[in-house]
Structure 1
Amino acid sequence: MAGVGLFSFVTMDLQTLLVLLLLFLSAVLLVYRRGRRLNLPPGPRGLPIVGNLLSLRPSKLLSNMAAWRQQYGDVYSLRALNRVIVVLYGHKAIHDALVKQPEIFSDRPPLRLMKRDPGLVMAPYGERWAERRRFALAALRQFGMGRRSAEGRIQEEGTALCSAIRSLDGAPTDISHLLGNAVSNIICSMSFGNRFEYDDEEFKRLSYAFSCLVGPNNRTMFALFRQIVMPYVRKLPMMANYREHGIKMSDYIIDFIMKSAEEHKATYDKSDIRDIIDVFLSEGSSEKSNGMNEEALGTIIRDLFIAGSETTATTLKWGLLYTALNPEVQTKVQEEINREFGSEAPPWSERGRLPYTEATIMEIQRVRPIVPLNVPHGTTCATTLYGYDIPAGTYIIPSLWSAMMDPEVTPEPETFRPERFLDDEGKVVKPEWFLPFSTGRRRCLGEQLAKMELFLFYTSLLQHFTFSLPDGAPAPPMDGSLGFVLAPTPYDVCAVPRHNP
């Protein structure tokens, strides 16, 4: 009897698998026939059933995309099982889609990775998204984005960062966690009204949760990618484990923010708005038509941390690595700071006096775009681009990497050369292909804050230290690790204190 039961179980499983396979093949056939009817952008043929899925591995993705562009042009399509993905390669294609057709190309792919409110970054395009973006921008501006109040916060944090690095006495150390702590504390002070000490246990747990969500090779982004291209596999054991881990980390962050909002209520004073949470309380915490309840506040602040902390910290990590590898550039930056400001901290309002330093920061952002493939976009309705049909609901990848690493507009793109951003008179120029914060209506809302942070942190670090790799240490691989962000391989650096005039 046991054998019969086992046989029945196996037979049932085989029957189920056969039905699923037939359904899957039918779906693939429908997509194929639909593609034949439509004039979709050209692209690599791929394999039967799986399409180009095996070519989308993170380690090969950027090089594969560059090769496909050479063969198929600036707009091409990929297939991942039943999904059609359109790639926008080069700054012109990105501009023609995201800027010239913003109502169509500003959506997001449907996301079921997280069970809670979608927040801001992954929210579908529409009125609710617009209202949330308005709230986030107003709150950031109220607490200093682009203003002197934010400058004071960043300078204070820069002092704490330099103190932590100075305590290392120039010993070879991976200081990436210190950079992450410093940048995260800016959003913490704007969101919660206070910064954390670097050894604070709660702060360490928050930092760990964020690194799990957006760090290099993170499991959550692996699950997100699989969710986008083949959502029906999300319940497979391995995918479910990745998904649950991401949910757990996201929930921890959101619950922490919601708990802080509850604590704020006890001391809230409408005449003394202290931080972003108080801005929310001043507008009323009841459910509104835009869905701005306390959970939405939690997901929006979570997104601000992701967009405003990990990206800036990772830019600084790349920046110090390229600075250490290019001592002649480091010397020019330090000499410019010494000449213009001596031992005084260069203020944001006078950054124009440091054109070479500004150009160096821009070159750091160019040579290693932090979000090289942007956050995936989606189309709200059918349209055409460059004569090709783009159906409604198409997944769009605007490759920021392609805009800034294209040898046709940036010769020798792997060469670190700040002079790209200086004219014949030594003044800073911003080419149209320079898109570190994306473009269009989904452009990074924390752009001004990030620019200020990069300038103030970088000048403070170069003013107080000279950075180099340990004696005899080879340069780490420069390809980086692609997760939500493109992060450098962990490396040790020697930060030798300078004797400023």
Structure 2
Amino acid sequence: MELRGVFTIFWALCLSCLIILVAWKKTNKGGKLPPGPTPIPFLGNLLQVRIHGTFQSLMKLHKKYGSVFTVYLGPRPVVVLCGFETLKEALVDQGDDFSGRGEIASIERNFQGYGVAMANGERWKILRRFSLTILRDFGMGKRSVEERIQEEAGFLVEELRKTKGAPVELTFILSRSVSNVISSIVFGNRFDYEDKEFQHLLWMINQSFIEMSNPWAQAYDMYSGIMQYFPGRHNYLYNLIEDLKDFVAHRVKINEASFDPQNPRDFIDYFLIKMHQEKNNPHTEFNLKNLVLTTLNLFFAGTETVSSTLRYGILLLTKYPEVQAKVYEEINHVIGPHRIPGANDRPKMPYTDAVIHETQRMTNIVPMGVPHIVTRDTHFRGYFLPKGTDVYPLLGSVLQEPKYFRYPDTFYPQHFLDEQGRFKKNEAFVPFSYGKRLCLGESLARMELFIYFTSIIQNFSLHSLVPPDDVDISPQVSGFGNIPPTYQLRVVAR
């Protein structure tokens, strides 16, 4: 067994050297990859790109090599894109060329190219078109999505009242409420906050997001060819996602047992209708694998990203009580103390809107973006990117770009306000990504963030347990995602 391991490592070293050699040769045949630090066999640029701070390392290289450069993550070359103009040129102006989903090896074992988030080619186009249609049309003739959010915000307010101003940690209080919005869409019902299975699901989602940002996962993405044969923490993420898949598959079976195509109840039912319509098509993408994994994509993203942003936003409001006071003043003026906030209030509340946008900019939940690949041989800014080249569009480089944000490292809501205090759009605001791979749930997330923020501040004042100047907003983990720190605060009824 030990001898086999030695041979595995030996051949992996040889293969990585060969890959690097081939990649170097490609730069001299009809084009070239962008410049970057010189890699060394097997390690690639591991000396320059730390797995404990990948985004920060890439931003340092950005200063040296410009807005387009190549790094080797292990034996794999990756083209890195930085800055708004660069991302716009690639993801919008040449959107078809850059529309492929890059492989994330740490979760590829779970998804294997299925599900809307990880799919490519026609599969991705079909699943995205279908999912967007259902998310946009869902609730027509029934309760609207806005009503669902308002209902859950109301449950959250009641849950926060129970704390009676005692110190509280909000991670799962917030995620239970937020998750119930997407749960009502994909599963057709909300969960009781005390439901043990629901609580375990949320814990697994939270742990999965943390593990995806853990250095172990990033090491696996670099060296999956070797690490897949060895035990270790990198297998923990795989097991978590498999358990989440099992839950979704079980919900699909429940829906199938009581399925009525004339009365679809949720996303799963609409997908089942398409499966029945195309059951005689051997090439259909409406199959069980895509149903389970697309539902999981929506459930996961609809739970973790919004709840993490809310946790960060509440932390920022305890650090900047003067901002919290101005938000409350605007809420009191436009909505009052008793009416439930709604989406139509947003245009009348420029300061609150600016605070929410600045919260998203500062929290920078997925700073490296989700990897892309080029779908065909592509010329970009004088360089040649062969079909299948991995591309990292650094969303964080845009959200911190001084050209578009005067104080990029400071919480400054005025980034989104003009001189008259009116809300000002900023084209470099790209927390939901950009171009053809724009987040499916962007409009839902925007509505949730507004209604949740305003409902919380309308009813409570938020107080940190330490002086505001001592509030630490540094992420708990920073990798694929910026994980909010764990903290306690007091939520005091107004």
Is the 1:87–1:398 Cα contact (8 Å) retained in structure 2? Answer: yes
Which residue of 1 is the match for residue 314 of structure 2? 320
Task: Select which of 417, 432, 443 maps to 1:422.
Answer: 417
The amino acid across from 2:244 in the alignment is I
Which residue of 2 is the match for residue 261 of structure 1? 252
1:461-500 equivalences under 5 Å are 461-472=456-467, 474-498=470-494
Is the 1:78–1:85 Cα contact (8 Å) retained in structure 2? Answer: yes
Give distance in 2, aligned partners of 1:413 and 1:49. 36
1:216-267 CA distances to partner (integer Å, 9 max, x unpaired)?
3x1586565345433312324245x523x33322222222222222222333
Q: Does 1:251 align with 2:242?
A: yes
Unaligned runs of 5+ residues in structure 2 are: none
Give distance in 1, aligned partners of 2:200 and 2:354. 36
1:41-67 CA distances to partner (integer Å, 9 max, x unpaired)?
121235454121244335432322222
Which residue of 2 is the match for residue 82 of structure 1? 75
The structure whose Rg is larger is 1
Moved more, 319-328 or 400-409: 400-409
Which residue of 1 is the match for residue 192 of structure 2? 197
Query: Following TM superposition, by how much is the alpha carbon of 1:137 offset from its aligned partner in structure 2, in angstroms?
Result: 1.1
SS, match of residue 22 in structure 2 = helix
Is the 1:258–1:295 Cα contact (8 Å) retained in structure 2? Answer: no
Which residue of 2 is the match for residue 296 of structure 1? 290
Query: Following TM superposition, by how much is the alpha carbon of 1:71 offset from its aligned partner in structure 2, in angstroms?
Result: 1.4
1:424-462 CA distances to partner (integer Å, 9 max, x unpaired)?
232212111111111111000100000000000010001
Is the 2:70–2:77 Cα contact (8 Å) retained in structure 1? Answer: yes
1:119-158 equivalences under 5 Å are 119-144=114-139, 149-158=144-153
Q: CA, structure 1 residues 451+65, in 2 after alignment: closer, same or farther (shift >3 Å)?
A: same
Give distance in 1, aligned partners of 2:8 and 2:122. 43
Give distance in 1, aligned partners of 2:397 and 2:143. 35
Q: CA, structure 1 residues 163+14, in 2 after alignment: closer, same or farther (shift >3 Å)?
A: closer
Which residue of 2 is the match for residue 3 of structure 1? none
The amino acid across from 1:92 in the alignment is E
Q: Does 1:438 align with 2:433?
A: yes
Give distance in 2, aligned partners of 1:17 and 1:464. 59
Is the 2:465–2:490 Cα contact (8 Å) retained in structure 1? Answer: yes
SS, match of residue 301 in structure 1 = helix
Give distance in 2, aligned partners of 1:185 and 1:315. 16
Which residue of 2 is the match for residue 272 of structure 1? 263
Q: CA, structure 1 residues 111+471, in 2 after alignment: closer, same or farther (shift >3 Å)?
A: closer
RMSD: 2.5
Which residue of 2 is the match for residue 378 of structure 1? 373
Give distance in 2, aligned partners of 1:221 and 1:359. 31
Q: CA, structure 1 residues 144+424, in 2 after alignment: closer, same or farther (shift >3 Å)?
A: farther
Is the 2:79–2:392 Cα contact (8 Å) retained in structure 1? Answer: yes
Query: Following TM superposition, by how much is the alpha carbon of 1:202 offset from its aligned partner in structure 2, in angstroms?
Result: 0.9
Q: CA, structure 1 residues 496+59, in 2 after alignment: closer, same or farther (shift >3 Å)?
A: farther
1:174-225 CA distances to partner (integer Å, 9 max, x unpaired)?
11111111111111111111111112111012112212322x3x15865653
Query: Following TM superposition, by how much is the alpha carbon of 1:471 offset from its aligned partner in structure 2, in angstroms?
Result: 4.0
The amino acid across from 2:488 in the alignment is D
1:386-426 CA distances to partner (integer Å, 9 max, x unpaired)?
11222221111111101111123212212111111112232
Give distance in 2, aligned partners of 1:23 and 1:148. 56
Which residue of 1 is the match for residue 87 of structure 2? 94
The amino acid across from 2:267 in the alignment is I
Query: Following TM superposition, by how much is the alpha carbon of 1:17 offset from its aligned partner in structure 2, in angstroms?
Result: 5.4
The amino acid across from 2:411 in the alignment is F
Q: CA, structure 1 residues 409+11, in 2 after alignment: closer, same or farther (shift >3 Å)?
A: closer
Query: Following TM superposition, by how much is the alpha carbon of 1:329 offset from its aligned partner in structure 2, in angstroms?
Result: 0.7
Give distance in 2, aligned partners of 1:317 and 1:11. 49
Q: Does 1:410 align with 2:405?
A: yes
Give distance in 1, aligned partners of 2:169 and 2:110. 35
TM-score scaled by structure 1?
A: 0.90
Is the 2:358–2:412 Cα contact (8 Å) retained in structure 1? Answer: yes
Unaligned runs of 5+ residues in structure 1 are: 1-8
